[in-house]
Amino acid sequence: MERSVIENKAATPLRRREPIHLLKELKAIFYLIPFLVPFTVFYLWPVIRGAWMSLHVWGIQGMQKYVALANYKKILENPDFYSYLWNSFYFVLLCAPTVLVLGLVLALIINQRIWVRTLIRSVFFLPYVLSVSVVSFIWLKLFDAKNGPVNAVLHALGMNADINWLTDHRFVWWAITIATDWWSVGFVMVLFLAGLQEIPTDHYEAAKIDGANAWQRFWSITLPGLSSVMKIQIFYQIINCLKLFGQVQIMTGGGPGDSTNTMIRYIYVTGFKKDMFGLAAAQSMIFCFIMLLIAVVQFKITDRKDG
């Protein structure tokens, strides 16, 4: 029943031409008000307020003085900003592709008739319901350099390397990526599974009759069939990776050195540790602008009818 409900939505376009009828308008808006109140106070207002704060020297005790764009100038002239921004994007480059590919692989496996399929699907999904603190604690200890199981396994496999996963800048991003992939891949898998089930089976049968092998069927039926989920997920994962905070806060504290300090952690430290709210608000504005740009690109791409 629910499937048919979803399909119905296309039939009801949002905009319709109706005469303005004030009472009707007010009545409809009345139903939106319970949502609009918290939305305005805790979302819209902070967005506007943030823009205003970014133009000031501001501390926890309040506004000190108006400085126009001085905060922005200060940020853009500071090399730290670029390295933290790069860290955030570096994590996107590592984590987004791996989680998408792994999620797709898991979905393809689960979509086959395999043993205890539901149980295995649950196992892959399970880490997603854990909080970032639990995930970070587990992996903090798994990656422990001296006694961690990860190094123990490497030893057992004959590798004589004591890898300092969390304190060596060559490995630390991989450690965080592995933890994050483990945590969130189940989510991606479920979406791809839903997408796979939408692809009509007779497409595969037709392709088989035409003599297409498994690899060709994957490229010409499965991937195009998943393209809409894929497009949404690419952008969702980019944004998600850019928001990285909990894992680095708990697992590395931004270290070694500053190598895992991300934009969100930069904003957090500037605002709450150094008590420079104005500067932190300006950093947030720049960061919001970057995310908005990404969102605009997403809309441009997903809106194209042929896609």
Partner 1 sequence: MKKFALNIAAVLLALLFIFPLIWMFLTSLKPDGVNVYTLADWVKWSDLNTDNYVKVIRDSQILHWTWNSLVIGVLTTVISILLSSLAAFSFSKLPFRSRGIFYVLIVSGLLIPTEAILIPLYETALHLQLIDNIWAIVLPGLTNPIGILLLKQFMDGVPKDYIEAAQIDGSRSFRLWWSICVPLTRSAMVSVGIFFFILSWNNFLWPYLAITSEENMILSAGLPTFLSNNNMSLNLIMTASAIAAIPTILVFILLQRHIVQGVAMSGVKG
Subset of 161-190 contacting partner 1 (CB under 8 A): 182, 187-188, 190
The window from 70-78, 81-89, 91-99, 238-246 that contacts partner 1 (CB under 8 A) reads 238-246
Interacting span for partner 1 (CB under 8 A) from 77-85, 88-96, 120-128, 217-225: 120-128
**b/e string for 36-68 if b means 16 or more Cβ within 10 A?**
eeeeeeeeeeeeeebeebbbbbbeeeeeeeebe
Site for partner 1 in 270-299 (CB under 8 A): 271-272, 277, 280-281, 284, 287-288, 291-292, 295
Q: Residues 7-46 vs partner 1: string with x where CB under 8 A?
A: -xx-xx-xxx-x-xx--xx-xxxxxx-xxx-xx-xxxxxx
Q: Is 256 in the site for partner 1 (CB under 8 A)?
A: no
* Residue keyed to tokens 């106070």: 41
- Binder to partner 1 among 87, 88, 177, 249 (CB under 8 A)? 249
Nearer to partner 1, 108 or 221 (CB): 108
Q: Coil, helix or strand for 275?
A: coil
- The residue from 94, 166, 172, 193 that contacts partner 1 (CB under 8 A) is 193
Based on CB atoms, which residue is closest to partner 1, 172 or 189? 189
47 binds partner 1 (CB under 8 A): yes
DSSP 204-245: HHHHHHTT--HHHHIIIIIHHHTHHHHHHHHHHHHHHHHT--
Helix, strand, coil share of the chain (percent; to 5): 70, 5, 25
Tokens of 9: 């939505």
Which of residues 173 and 192 has its CB atom nearest to partner 1 in the complex? 192
* Dist. CA 247–CA 250, nearest whole Å: 5
Applying CB under 8 A, does 129 fall inside the site for partner 1? yes
User: Per the structure block, which two tokens stand in for 274?
Assistant: 């150094």
Specify whether the CB–CB gap between 241 and 179 falls below 8 A. no
Q: Does 195 bind partner 1 (CB under 8 A)?
A: yes
Q: How many binding residues for partner 1 (CB under 8 A)?
A: 104
Output phi, psi for 62, to 5 deg: 125, -170
Question: Which tokens is 60 given?
Answer: 């926890």
Look at the block and give the residue holding tokens 């109706």: 18
Among the listed ranges 76-84, 89-97, 122-130, 217-225, the one in contact with partner 1 (CB under 8 A) is 122-130
Q: 265: part of which helix (H) or strand (E)?
A: helix 263-268
The answer to whether the CB of 167 falls within 8 A of the CB of 145 is: yes
Going residue by residue from 53 to 92, which x/- string records binding to partner 1, judged by CB under 8 A?
x------x--------------------------------
Within 138-157, which residues bind partner 1 (CB under 8 A)?
138-142, 147-149, 152
